[in-house]
Structures are given as structure tokens and as C-alpha cells.
Structure 1
């Protein structure tokens, strides 16, 4: 019995970590979240776990039938997780928010609280019950509680390892949720089997657990979990043709098809549109800095290169080598899986070298120097992207530029009005660039403000007449960046 109970406690810790990470990831997709969203979600999880532990668990402790209570709560916990995953995916429809629309602080707070409520509360209630069970069967006093902590901690650590290396790469959310439910009821059956002869209640609990195990097995091995997965995706992305939906260790990637266009979403945020990108943006983002440089030969693109940017760079006859660093290998894998003439041309061109690694890490490790470095991350909204908008990063980029080289970054902007947040953001980045580079040139734009930074004074004197002459001399054909639009 001691070993059985120890395994049950270990699985409790394992299940708590996996359930937490699963719902956290699903909610971040809905919220297009950053660290603030993560903080709110985790705070709700901890509050609800504490509530379940203190109120439900303590009340259940006074019940003489701790084992039966533990069994019932485990069953409810197992059922609540797949249900929470489904309601998370239809959450935007429930609260009336469309795809791509940001979710505010209050909706994140109350909706994540309600989604997490059953799973967190039931899991929190299990811990004091495990402590009571261990004390009851082994009568070790306070030391038994310490052993429960050890078992639970080992299970949590194991859950983190399994989540990272086995669950995320190979299973989708419903497979994980159903498999976790099956694991819990299987352990429950093994735990209760020892008490088969004690009464009708235990027999009923074992029978229900066995049915749940059988049902979970059917869902996993007969395609039921896959059908639930597809139905929930259709409900989540209503009126959109989702051709691929997959998690990587870095986030969720969803590929939507609209006519002949593919839109790649990363955690609910559109990252790439192909084969017809935002022509005005990519032409401005690429040609302004490359035309301001007298002879751009070696270029580095840190994220956001596929889908237009590399294609525009290749129009410059001086470009001899283009290095494109992208963090998530799955993102590039899916671009190749759903090819368009544009992306196929970009990623297979002999001048293009693709690096599957973090852009900042690559810049730190490379010994090469570049004429132009383009940062394709345009909105410093979380810690991952903020790393590319710091004084330290700008200093690193400066060291990797050739004489007269240009660093290019973009920020959210407008030609008509900047609210206080955008004004402060643009001012902050401009001043930080000025503390590193002697010359910084800003090109305001509708949607994106472009910042060119260099040691060369030429970017400050570069004007419309020179741009038109360079376009003509280099034989570059453009659609939007023409004289009458500049």
C-alpha cells in the first residue's frame, strides 16, 4: 500500500505541473500574451490551488472516508482538464473578441480565473488529502507530511521533463489532457483495488474509474482526441480555413489559408503573409537602408525574413550573402510545408543562408561583420523581443557592423497620431540608439516607424533625390517606394 500511495502522490505532482503548463499555453494563444498575461494566469492558478487546498481539502479531511474522497476528487480533476482546454479555445467567441484582437487586462483576469477554476481547485484539494492518507496508513506523524512533499516535488520535476521533451513535441493538447486523465484513473484503480472487499462505494468508484479509463483509451487510440482537437480548432478559428495547427517548444503556430494566401500565426499573432506580403512595408523596410548604404554586400536578417524581406534584398545586385536567423525551426519547416513561389525563391536562393537559432545569440557568436543588420521583430511586447531593443543589443550590433554599416529596426508608429504609450516607446528607443550610434535617422510611416543607425554621417544626408537615383542605377523595380509616394 505504501508504494501505491507514493506513486499516487507522485502522479498528483506530475499532473499538476502538466495541467498548469497545458492551460497556460492554451490561454496565451488566446490572449496573444506576454509576461503580464503569464503573471495573471499563474496568480489565478495559485489562488485557486490554495482555495482548494484550504477549504475543500480541509473539509474533506474531517470526513472519515479520505480514500473515497480522494478518488472522487481525482475523477473530477481528470474530467475538468479536457473541458478546460475546450472552453479555452472558444473563449474569444464567448467574450465577443475577434481573431487578432488584443484582450484587455480585466478580460484576461476574469476569464482565466473561470477557466482555471475547476482544475486548480480540484488539484489543490488533493494535497491535504494525500497528507491525511499517508498519516493514516503509516502513522509517522509530521514526518509523513514531509514525505508527501518529497513525492509531490519529484512528480513535479518529472512532469517538467516529460512536458518539454515528450509531450510538447509529439502530442496535441487534447491528447495530453486525455492521456493525463487516463493516467490518473489508472493509478486510482490500482490504489483502490486493495480495498475491493470493503464496501459498495469503493466498488462503484473503481467501476467508474474503469469506465473512464476505457473511454480515455478509446479517445486516444480510436481517433476521438484528434476529432475533439479538430472541432475545437474550427470553433476557435471560426470562418478561417486552418490548414495546420501545432505547438513547438517556443509557442503555437497556426497556418490559415485565405484564397491563395497563407497567414502564419505565432501564439495568435500574425507573423507572415505570403505570397503577397505588405508591399509598402517590406519595400520601405529593405530599400531605404540598403539604398542609403553605398555598397551593401553582406546582410543579416534577424527574424521576419521570409515572406518578402529577403526577396526585396535579392533585388540589390550588390548583395552577395544574406544570413537569415530564425529561432523556431518549426516556423521555417511549416513555411516549406506550405510553399509559395515567394518563400520558395527566398529560402532556396544560393545567396541565402538560413540559421535555426536565436538571432541575438547568433549575433553574439558570429565572427562575421555585416553591412546591414535588419531586425524583423517590430513590436517589443515581451521579454523575448525586448532583448532586441536594449542598449546592450545595440552595442553588440555596432561591433558586428562594417565601417559605414547600418542597423535597421522598426517600431509601431503613425503619420497622424501617436498616443502617449507609442510616443514614449519611440522616444525611449531613439534615445537608446543615440547613446550607442552617433547618427540615427527616423523615417515615420503609417504603421511602422523605421530607425536607421550608423557610424556614418551619410544616413543623415540621404534624401529623396539620391534614393531615386540609386533605384535607377541599381535597376530595382518597386511598386510603392516610387518618387511620387516618397
Structure 2
């Protein structure tokens, strides 16, 4: 390796590009790992990035004096580069093992406070070092180029590295390599960069030998399956209460499959997505009640989560065509890989056609009309999920309904009492549905079923009609039977709860531009994990956007004034 050499300028610039690429790639890998561990959303990403910026600033602050006066700034830079590569692997291992270390059960929802603490600890070894590299990089580039504006050029080279890393990791590598392998690539790149930078400065030969040894070890682990074994071991720690069968990344999500007592559970970004071969009884309710409300449901569209019980229950009705839209093809691949008689029947039935496509994009391209469109997603706790509960999406659904066609979706509910947060969530999405569909019916239960139609008279349809259809179609189900339907239509029991949801005059409409469903979902989830934070979110949700804009502007102006006074110079953006 001693024969490899670059000019000081080229090696310094390449080191800065690698520094920017490493920071972006590490953020992508760690954010994905944290979202799986904490079932997070965009607010969680905000907390993670806030920690990153705080730690970066701390690293830059404590490094600036050493960078200005150190005679061995190149050696310090090289050591920190290698440590960042090692730190990325250690951070991923920590995220995957903290549940095992602190005895946190698989599936237990942890609040934002836990995420803030864990993400702070996980990011610290990378972000502090990355922040410390910036003053050192400015010193090195200034010394080589004799340019007083070296800081601007450092930003430029970092941006080039960030762009390249984002393109490679998001659109290519992440679908082919596991997370530990990707982190190992970062370690290899940083070792190569550090070695070349030291070689160009003609110093620290012993240090170069140490970096070369780390590089050779990293290459050996990468090419001889050591990273794969470490990935499998650490992934099992994250799912330590179950037998982990596989965990794979796609552009869209992380998919994990576990087995416990013969039951397969499929997780998407840490959230349970389906269970086979024995799906939950609530799937029967979610499918049969909407299907029975339609006189002859010949064509059905299922958007999300169809495999694992929903398709098989729909096939008990006299349907002629089922279009099943699933955005992530990896989910279908995992169902095929860990198939059961149930999923084999669903995915290979002549009536079922699978469309590996995003739901809204499919609706914009297809000309088909449907008797029932079933939207099957978790509550809109992220902006991505919220896109399937907005007025704009419901209008798109309405264009694809046949005569007397209807749409259905479910939300968390209760058969006895609706807390304020749960009621607000249901009311927010009810008014969005009502904005598009004049006929809306709510079937209250542990999962509230919402039905919407442009033409069908859903409100007047009684239990006897559904019972007759259940018998005429010869539906065999474990939960949904004649007596269960009579129970579900008990107005004395469920009428007051339905009225509470309908009494939504003050609820804000959920749409693409104002995703009130996300805030309502976050408030509801945080009442379970962090009641104090849920109260803060409730207050924040009632503050107009214009007020937040003014508050942000005042804060920015205050920081400008403070910096100008401390430096004695006007602040320049």
C-alpha cells in the first residue's frame, strides 16, 4: 500500500468528500434502525436530526482550537475518520441490542423521551467526531490551497459526498446489502481515505500501518461473511423474544419475519403487518361487514396488507376479481419465502391479481371501477400513511367506485368508552370521509369500521339484510355469524359511541396540505407512552401555523443579534 500516493490537494479533497458521504450514509442507516426499534415517524426523525445537529455543533466547538494550533492536524483527522467508520458499526449494534440489555419486550411502544435518549447515545460517537472533523478539514484545505475561503470549499466537497452517498445508499446498495455490510463499506472507505491523506502528508508511518491493518481486517470480514454473521446475531438481539427468520431492507422499508409457536409474524418497519397461518379474528370483522353491506361485490380492490387473511376472507364471497395493491414487492417476496397454505391460496388464486405499486399511483393509472375498495393500513401516524386518509385520497377512491360502490377502512375504537384523544382521531378522519361521501356509516367496536359511498344508502341498512346475505352466501367464519351481527347492530349499546364520533363540528379536516390526522395519531399514541408529551402536542396542535412562523422568525433574529454582539461583526448567512 505504500506505493499508492496522491497529491496533498487531491487527498485532502477526497477525504472531505468521504467525510460528507459518511455523514449522510450514517444518518440514513441509523435513522432506519431507530425507526424500526421505535416504530417512529417524521417527528421521530426530527428528534434524531436535532440530536445529530447538537452533537455535531459540540464536536466542532471543542475541536476548533486544536485544529487552529495543532501541528499534527492531518494525523488527528485520519484517526477520527477511522473512528467514525468503527463508530457507525458500534451505533447500529447498540440500537439493536438496547431492548435486550434493558429487557424491553418486543412490540412494546416506547415514547419520544426514550428515543431522544437512545438516539443521542447512538449518534454520539459519529456526530461528535464528524463535527470535530470540520475545523480540521478547513485547516488542512486552507494550508494546502492558501485560500482564506476554505470553509466554503469544505462545505462544497461535503455536499458532493452527501449527494453521492444518498444516491448510492437509497437507490441501490440498501436493497442488496444488509446494514452491517453497508456500515463496513463506510469503514473501508474511511480507512482508505485516511491512509491516502496521511501518505500525502508524509507523516505518521506507524499510524498508517495501524490504519492499513484495520482496513485489511474490514476487507476480510466483508468478503468472508463476517459481516453477515454479525448482522444475523445483532438482528436476533432486536427480536430476542421470538425466532427471527429473516430481516431485509428495501427502498421503502425494513421487513422482518419472526416465528413463535408455529405462527409467522411479518413486520414492516417494526410494526406488525400480518400473521399466518392463523390471522386475528378481527380480520373477519374488517372484511365481512363491509362485504355484506354490498348486494353483489363482484370486483374488490385491496390497498395494502391483503395477504395473511384478508384476501382469503374476501374469497368466501362471490367475487369475480380482486386487485391487490402492495407498494413494497419485498413484502410479497417474504410471503412467498415463508409461505403457508393460507398465503399460497391467497397469492395464487385465479381471482387475485397482485400489483406491486404505490396505492395512489395505481388509482391514477387504472380505469377500473370497483364495488368495494378496502384500505388496510395502520393509523396515519406518519405522513406516508396519512396520504391514505386524506380528502384528496378519498376523492381519488370515489372516481373508481361502481354504482352503489363503497370504501372501507378501520381505526382503533372501543365498545365501552372513547377517550378524548381516541375520539379526536376518529372524528378527524370521519369529517374527511364525510367531505367526499354523502353516505357514511360507522360500525363501532374495538376497531371502528368506516364505510363511505356516493350512492348506497348505508344508514338505513339493518341487521336483517346482512344476516340474509350471510346465509345466502354460505359464509363460514369463526367470529362473524348471525348472533354477532345482532350484537354489532345493538343501537342501545353502540348508538351513543357512534353519536360521539359524528358530533365532530370542531374537528379539522385531514388533507394533504394540512395533515391533521398525523397530529391526532401522535397525540393518541403518546397518551399511552408519554402522557405529558401528549399534552404538549395537544397544545401545539391548536396553535396556528402563522404563530409558529412568527415564533421561528423571532428566534432566528435573536440568534443573529446574539452572534453579532459576541463577535462584534454583522452576521452573514
- Report TM bin, short chain: over 0.9
The equivalent of 2:83 in structure 1 is 76
Residues 57 and 128 in structure 1, CA contact (< 8 A), matched pair in contact too: yes
* Equivalent position of 1:291 in the other structure: 292
Q: Which residue of 2 aligns with 1:315?
A: 316
Query: Partner residue of 2:510?
Result: none
- Residues 305 and 324 of structure 1 are in contact (CA less than 8 Å); yes or no, is this contact kept in structure 2? yes
Match of 1:394 in 2: 394
Tell whether 2:197 aligns with 1:191.
yes
* More divergent stretch after superposition (184-193 vs 405-414): 184-193
Give the CA RMSD over aligned residues: 1.4
Residue by residue over 1:212-260, the C-alpha shift from the partner in whole angstroms, topping out at 9 and shown as x without a partner, is: 1011112111221111111111211113111111111111100001232
Is the 1:30–1:91 Cα contact (8 Å) retained in structure 2? no
Which of 91, 96, 108 in structure 2 is aligned with 1:89? 96
Shift of 1:48: 0.9
Looking at structure 1, the residues matched to 112 and 355 of structure 2 have their Cα atoms a distance apart, in angstroms, of 37
The DSSP-based 3-state class of the residue aligned with 2:274 is strand
Change (3 A) 1:361 1:484: same
Match of 2:156 in 1: 150
CA contact (8 A) 1:290 1:296 kept: yes
How much has 1:3 moved relative to structure 2? 1.1
Q: In the TM superposition, what is the alpha-carbon distance from 1:147 to its structure 2 partner? A: 2.4
- Structure 2 distance, partners of 1:48, 1:432, is 41
The answer to whether the 8 Å contact 1:26/1:88 transfers is yes
2:54 matched residue in structure 1: 47
Instruction: Name the TM-score, length of structure 1 as normaliser.
Output: 0.96
Kindly state the Cα deviation for residue 380 of structure 1 after the two structures are TM-superposed.
1.2
Aligned counterpart in structure 2 of residue 238 of structure 1, from 224, 240, 253: 240
Q: Deviations over 1:371-415 (max 9, x none)?
A: 100001131111111111111111121121111111101111111
Q: Secondary structure at the match of 2:406?
A: strand
Shift of 1:457: 4.5
Kept after mapping to 2: 8 A contact 1:292/1:458: no
The runs of 5 or more residues in structure 2 that have no matched partner are 1-7, 486-573
8 Å CA contact 2:78–2:197 kept in 1: the answer is: no
Indicate if the aligned counterparts of 1:311 and 1:342 stay in contact, CA closer than 8 A.
yes
How is 1:474-485 mapped onto 2 (pairs within 5 angstroms)?
A: 474-485=473-484
Tell me the secondary structure at the aligned position of residue 90 of structure 1.
helix
Summarize the Cα distance change of 1:457–1:183 in structure 2 as closer, same or farther, 3 Å threshold: closer
Look up the match of 2:411. 411
The residue number in structure 1 matching 2:302 is: 301
Match of 1:282 in 2: 283
SS of the equivalent of 1:459 reads coil
Secondary structure class of the residue paired with 2:207: helix
**Higher deviation after alignment, 426-435 or 34-43:** 426-435
Contact 1:97-1:103 within 8 A present in 2 as well: no
Distance in 2 (CA, whole Å) between partners of 1:285 and 1:312 is 10
Q: Shift of residue 81 of structure 1?
A: 1.0
Q: Give the whole-Å Cα distance in 2 for the aligned partners of 1:134 and 1:434.
A: 61
- The residue aligned with 1:455 is 454
CA spacing shift, 1:125–1:76, aligned 2, 3 Å = same
Q: For the residues of structure 2 that align with 1:78 and 1:313, how far apart are their CA atoms?
A: 50
Rounded to whole Å, the distance in 2 between the matches of 1:432 and 1:78 is 48
Distance 2:297 2:83 in 1: 63
- Residues 145-190 of structure 1: CA deviation (Å, up to 9, x unaligned): 3322221111111111111233201111111111211111111112
1:99 maps to what in 2? Answer: 106
Query: How far apart are the structure 1 equivalents of 2:331 and 2:362?
Result: 17
**1:360-379 alignment to 2 at 5 Å?**
360-379=360-379
In the alignment, structure 1 residue 139 sits paired with structure 2 residue 149: no
Does structure 1 retain, via aligned residues, the 8 Å contact 2:302–2:323?
yes
1:175 aligns with 2:181: yes
Partner Cα separation in structure 1 for residue 404 and residue 371 of structure 2:
7
Deviations 1:268-292 (A, max 9, x none): 111000111012x222111111111
Residue 242 of structure 1 contacts residue 255 of structure 1 at CA under 8 Å; is this kept in 2?
yes
2:443–2:449 CA contact under 8 A, matched in 1: yes
The Cα shift of 1:485 comes to: 2.2
SS at match of 1:118: helix
Query: 2: CA distance between counterparts of 1:81 and 1:247?
Result: 18
Q: Distance in 2 between matches of 1:89 and 1:450?
A: 36
- Check the 8 A contact 2:178/2:249 in 1, yes or no: yes
1:210 is matched with which residue? 212
| Equivalent-residue separation in structure 1 for 2:300 and 2:59 (angstroms) | 56
Shift of 1:95: 4.1
Question: Gapped runs of 5+ residues in structure 1?
Answer: none
Cα distance between partner residues in 2 of 1:417 and 1:118: 47
Q: Matches of 1:444 and 1:61 in 2, distance apart?
A: 67
SS in 2 for 1:445: coil
Q: Is the 8 A contact 1:254 1:265 kept in 2?
A: yes
Contact 1:414–1:445, Cα closer than 8 Å, also in 2: yes
Gap change, CA 1:457 and 1:180, over 3 Å in 2:
closer
Structure-2 change in CA distance of 1:58 and 1:18 (3 Å): farther
How many residue pairs were aligned? Answer: 478
